[in-house]
Amino acid sequence: MMKRNFLLVLVTLVGICAEAQNVSISKARFQKGDDLSWAKPETNDASWKEIDMTKNWDDQGYAINKAYAWYRVHLTIPSSLLKGADQQKIVVFNLPKADDTDECYLNGKLIGKTGSMPGDKAGYRSAWSTPRNYPVDAKTGGIRWDADNVIAIRVYNGGEPGGLFDNPLTVRVPNAAEGLSLRFTDVNEGQAHCDIELSNAYPLTTSGTLAVSITDRDTGKKVGSLTKKLSPKQGKPVSVSIPYDKKKVCLLEATYTDSKSGVTISKRLPLKYILTPPAPATPRFNGAPLFGVRPGSPVIYRFPVSGERPMKFTAANLPAGLKLSESDGVLSGKIDKAGDLTFTVTAENAKGKASQEFTLKVGDRMIGLTPPMGWNSWNCWALSVSQEKVMSSAQALLDKGLADYGYCYMNIDDGWEAEQRNPDGTIAVNEKFPSMKALGDWLHERGLKFGIYSSPGDYTCGGYLGSIDHELQDAESYNSWGVDYLKYDWCGYGRAHAKERDKGVASYVRPYLLMQKYLREQPRDIFYSLCQYGMAKVWEWGRFVDANSWRTTGDIYDAWVSMYDIGFKRQAGLAPYAAPGHWNDPDMLIVGKVGWSSNLRDSRLTPDEQYTHITLWTLLASNMLIGCDIAQMDDFTIGLLCNNEVNAINQDILGKQADRVSKVGDIEVWSRPLADGGTAIGIFNVGDEDKQVNIADYVSKNFTIRDLWRQKNLSADELNCTIPTHGCKYLKVK
Ligand code: GLA
């Protein structure tokens, strides 16, 4: 009786809403702590507090961190739910999301679990953003039809905020197609094709037709299709594959129709497309016509030249002290006196030859005269980086031809240090990096450069040792290993900084100035990359600590919101602070296979967003650090990263960063002047709808207007065009 009264009160209080096929509830009883007996229906929860399951518990006054709490819901599940459902086999309990992991019990019986708890064999693993759909057999799953059911949810919070959130708890009887989902794998390598997988999360029978079509987005014409009869069963996904032309800009649409109920599910995917024309077989110089070095520092410069191999490199008037390797075009040696040394380098292969007049600029402030190009381990491997992974990416950089476009820095991010320093205080490496010196030599032999990561604090962001109180020793170690690039990440320095009485700009400058002194004392050129997320307007003082670049924001990730916020919103107005040798750094690239772990996946940016990313980053004179596994790089990503005309904007020797020149509605225009008198212009559609744009509204028709991605001049009738959502046009005007 008592229980029934309670249920009635609860029903009125929380307003259960019952539609034809679902019952939904957002309020529950709540108790901190952990006791598995709370799963039992007979547990007396009358004294438990009331809580809203759609809002994190932090927002409701419960700061429960790294700990458990339980929710209990009393619910009448009406048998009328089954009426009208096309199959009456299962009932789905759709839980709110849980920050971070949950276990769900129905009348004392475990019906589902997402993520894993600290006590589990696999150890704690958050699954805070995963939707929870727990199917239960309608007859044997333990549902008490038309009576009181107790749904008890055990939640563990591994880091703020915590608890259930987002959607209410819904109990529903699904139709045949509801557990179906479509997944695409776009394989842009060799003969491009898209694999379409249809899976069924529920033990419901369905059979129907999957119809796939491919439409050319430029012409609106259908360019491919297939239909197939399928019957996906729970746990046994079925798939089809459809080829496509990677030079066309296409949209794929897949629709599955359940033949009995007529219910459909469908999904669309803009396919990857390659605009960059293939490089000629003849040699072509793809790099800037200059490179800077400090007097007395070793010169390591690999001439970026595409074209068929083998290739022979020769130089006319090569200054004394320098050597050019004939087979791979690596310039080495050292020059003791400041000044400009100009000479001509020629590359020749079976198909022809090409030359570049080149200047080696020798002087004290000559590091990074054009933005650095290369790779960093963070966006792909994060803390799982190892020497093996660095070497495999370096080898792929050479084999796949990226080094022929100027990518040369191979930078190890966080995760290389040992747990303790050596007894003499020098930094030690962990077992994943057998020898830094050998790695440095291996890279240099191939004309590549070696980058490393540390923090001015006690620990790095990943919890590895930082350089505090060992700055000189670390700079000396880097020199002895042959390091050419240091990313110096504030992170753990936050603790030292918290103790500062005066938190003015000087307190932000100090740790960076200290390392600058020791780095610059080393007899080699170490590109100095500040990483402190833009604090104290680092762009205003970065060049005065002789930093070669400084991160202007927090970390990027592969979603439009992140790229838009960092690239468009936070870079506007920063152009005046960039100059040769000193660059704003809007963070590393998020194209290709990324994942911040040992599990990599395709970047979640759409192909149009990826074109926008590279367009904007080259306009911004940003560091161009690839953040993916190069060994797994597909043709689409190579096309994005190896367009010589696009990269030439990034490497333009005038060194003027682009700024936003107009923003009307969703159309933003960014432009920068170039050394040859031309102007690079990006016209971006940052809105959620495709937009019709007339280029003549932004550029006089009297100029030569070149489409940089397609590498062709635009005719007057090509100026009126559609820019897809989050896409762009990249132009050079002269
Ligand atoms: C910070 C930096 C990242 C990366 C990680 C490593 O978050 O901003 O780029 O270096 O630390 O822990």
Whether the link from the prior residue into 310 is cis, omega within 30° of 0, is yes
Residue with tokens 């747990």: 419
Q: Whose CA is nearest to atom 11 of ligand 1?
A: 461
Question: How confident is the model at residue 266, as a pLDDT?
Answer: 97
State the closest ligand 1 atom to the C-alpha of 464, by its place in the atom list counted from 1: 12
pLDDT digits (tens, 9 = 90+) for 435-446: 999 999 999 999
**Short-list 57, 65, 45, 32, CA closest to 3:** 45
CA atoms within 13 A on the CB side of 5: 3
Determine whether 441 is exposed, middle or buried from the number of CB atoms within 10 Å of its CB (0-12, 13-18, 19+).
middle
- Quote the ligand 1 centre to 439 CA distance (angstroms): 22
Cβ–Cβ < 8 Å for 187, 634: yes
**Average pLDDT rounded to a whole number, residues 329-333:** 98
Atom of ligand 1 nearest to the CA of 461: 12
CA distance 547 to 529: 6
Q: What angle do CA 676, 677, 679 make, to 5 degrees?
A: 105
The pLDDT tens digits for 603-641 are 999 999 999 999 999 999 999 999 999 999 999 999 999
- Which pLDDT score, from 0 to 100, does residue 701 have? 80
**Structural domains present in the chain:** 4-172 (2.60.120.260), 180-270 (2.60.40.2420), 284-362 (2.60.40.10), 373-650 (3.20.20.70), 659-733 (2.60.40.1180)
pTM to 2 decimals? Answer: 0.90
Give me the active site residues, please: 489, 555
| Distance from C-alpha of 129 to C-alpha of 422, rounded to nearest angstrom | 42
In this prediction, residue 16 has a pLDDT band, given cuts at 50, 70 and 90, of very low
Q: Given this model, what pLDDT does residue 610 score?
A: 98
Mean pLDDT of 414-437: 97
Number of H helices, E strands in the chain: 12, 47
Atom of ligand 1 nearest to the CA of 531: 8
pLDDT at position 8 over 60: no
Q: What is the pLDDT of residue 3?
A: 35
Q: What is the pLDDT of residue 423?
A: 98
* CA of 445 relative to ligand 1 center, distance in Å: 29
Atom of ligand 1 nearest to the CA of 551: 8
Backbone angles phi, psi at 487, to 5 degrees: -95, 120
What pLDDT score does 631 carry?
96
Q: Which of 531, 552, 585 to mutate to test the pocket of ligand 1 (most atoms within 8 A of CB)?
A: 531
Count Cβ atoms below 10 Å from residue 710 Cβ, excluding itself. Answer: 16
Percent of the chain residues past pLDDT 90, beyond the cut: 94
Query: Is residue 314's pLDDT more than 90?
Result: yes
**Lookup result for tokens 């212009």:** 681
Segment 647-667, tens digit of pLDDT: 999 999 999 999 999 999 999
Among 555, 557, 558, 562, residue to substitute to test ligand 1 (most atoms within 8 Å of Cβ)? 555
User: Residue 134 has what pLDDT?
Assistant: 96
Look at residue 17 in the predicted model and tell me its pLDDT. 39
> Taking all residues of the chain, what is their mean pLDDT, rounded to a whole number?
95
State which of 487, 489, 529, 585 you would mutate to test the pocket of ligand 1, scoring each by most atoms of that ligand within 8 A of its C-beta. 489
What is the rounded CA–CA span in Å between residue 386 and residue 392? 10
| CA dihedral angle for residue 566, residue 572, residue 574, residue 575, rounded to 10 degrees | 120
State the distance from the centre of ligand 1 to the C-alpha of 702, rounded, in angstroms.
Answer: 47
Looking at ligand 1, which residue's alpha carbon is closest to its atom 3? 555
pLDDT digits (tens, 9 = 90+) for 230-282: 999 999 999 999 999 999 999 999 999 999 889 899 999 999 999 999 999 99
- CA-to-CA distance for 549 and 516, rounded, in angstroms? 12
Q: How far is the CA of 415 from the centre of ligand 1 (A)?
A: 10
Residue 175: what pLDDT?
85
- pLDDT number for residue 349: 98
Whole-number pLDDT of residue 22: 87
Q: Tell me how far the alpha carbon of residue 461 lies from the centroid of ligand 1, in angstroms.
A: 6
Q: Which long-range contacts (CB under 8 A, 24 or more apart) does 41-49 make?
A: 41/107, 41/108, 41/148, 41/149, 41/150, 43/72, 43/150, 43/152, 45/72, 46/2, 46/6, 48/72
Q: What is the mean pLDDT of the segment spanning 205-214?
A: 96
**Average pLDDT score over residue span 574-578:** 98
State the distance from the centre of ligand 1 to the C-alpha of 489, rounded, in angstroms. 7
- 295 has pLDDT over 50: yes
**Which atom number of ligand 1 is nearest to the Cα of residue 382?**
6
Q: What is the pLDDT of residues 272-290, one digit of tens each?
A: 999 999 999 999 999 999 9
* Overall average pLDDT of the 190-207 stretch: 95
Intra-chain end-to-end CA distance of the chain, in Å: 85
Ligand 1 first shell, C-beta below 6 A: 378, 413-414, 460-462, 489, 491, 531, 555
Query: What sections of 227-272 are H helices per DSSP?
Result: none
